[in-house]
């Protein structure tokens, strides 16, 4: 028996990388997985018993509403939402004056507005089931003030604030809202950008108390904890997982 037997978990950005690792961790605890991603969702869902894949752009209201409807259609409802989808590795590092406004808005739409949309679509379904869990994936960068990706760092800081405010609002509904903030992770998306690895890998490892690469699997335990019975009295919190680079 897993701690999440009978639960339905929607994980955005779960076709690969950190999202895929999180989906595998929740699946191992018995949750039925809905893989929501811009590409590869249906193929990734085949890895899970009764897995459901939904192609979705999380920054688009209609797509997100369809995602929730598909979860109800195939799984009967939603108990867990992991907001993992986001933009990072494809962003060029540059002084803030050189960031185009269109790119700034895109980062805010994909990294922040998407969480508003997914929560708005999924929370009513959680209320119908007597409660639920929301886990938002932020980043360790707001706690360190990392330069040259101002839009990204700002978006991830907003996620921490979003988590706290929404937790207050949904406590009465037994919907717990928490946040996980990973450090620089050797995910599939990062590995596709060697220039990002060259700029950040060594300096990140050197700054950690645990001096090794961070892997997607390192994030899973905290997310599973927030989704399971061990965190029944925990909401509005952020756990930074970066090998001790930041103490929060």
Residues assigned a catalytic role: 152
Domain boundaries along the sequence of the chain? 8-241
Q: At what angle do helices 114-128 and 150-170 cross, to 10 degrees?
A: 20
Rounded to the nearest 10 degrees, how much is the dihedral formed by the CA atoms of 134, 150, 91, 39?
20
What is the model's pTM? 0.96
Residue-by-residue pLDDT tens, the chain, 248 positions: 799 999 999 999 999 999 999 999 999 999 999 999 999 999 999 999 999 999 999 999 999 999 999 999 999 999 999 999 999 888 999 999 999 999 999 999 999 999 999 999 999 999 999 999 999 999 999 999 999 999 999 999 999 999 999 999 999 999 999 999 999 888 878 778 788 788 888 889 999 999 999 999 999 999 999 999 999 999 999 999 999 999 98
Q: Which fold has domain 8-241?
A: Rossmann fold (3.40.50)
């Amino acid at each position: 028996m897993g701690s999440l037997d009978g639960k339905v978990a929607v994980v955005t950005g779960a076709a690969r990388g950190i999202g895929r690792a999180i989906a595998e961790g929740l699946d191992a605890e018995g949750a039925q997985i809905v893989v929501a991603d811009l590409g590869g969702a249906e193929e990734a869902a085949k890895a899970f018993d009764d897995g459901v894949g939904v192609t979705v752009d999380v920054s688009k209201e209609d797509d997100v509403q369809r995602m929730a409807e598909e979860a109800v259609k195939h799984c009967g409802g939603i108990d867990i939402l992991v907001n993992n989808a986001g933009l990072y590795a494809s962003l060029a590092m540059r002084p803030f004056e050189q960031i185009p406004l269109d790119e700034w808005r895109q980062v805010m739409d994909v990294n922040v507005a998407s969480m508003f949309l997914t929560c708005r679509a999924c929370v009513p379904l959680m209320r119908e089931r007597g409660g639920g869990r929301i886990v938002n994936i932020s980043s360790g960068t707001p706690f360190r003030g990392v330069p040259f990706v101002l839009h990204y760092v700002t978006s991830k800081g907003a996620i921490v604030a979003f988590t706290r405010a929404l937790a207050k609002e949904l406590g009465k509904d037994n919907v717990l809202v928490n946040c996980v903030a990973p450090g620089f992770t050797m995910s599939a998306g990062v590995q596709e950008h060697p220039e990002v690895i060259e700029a950040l890998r060594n300096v990140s490892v050197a700054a950690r108390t645990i001096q090794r690469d961070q892997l997607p699997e390192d994030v899973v335990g905290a997310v599973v904890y927030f989704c399971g019975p061990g965190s029944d009295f925990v909401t509005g919190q952020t756990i930074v997982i970066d090998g001790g680079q930041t103490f929060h």
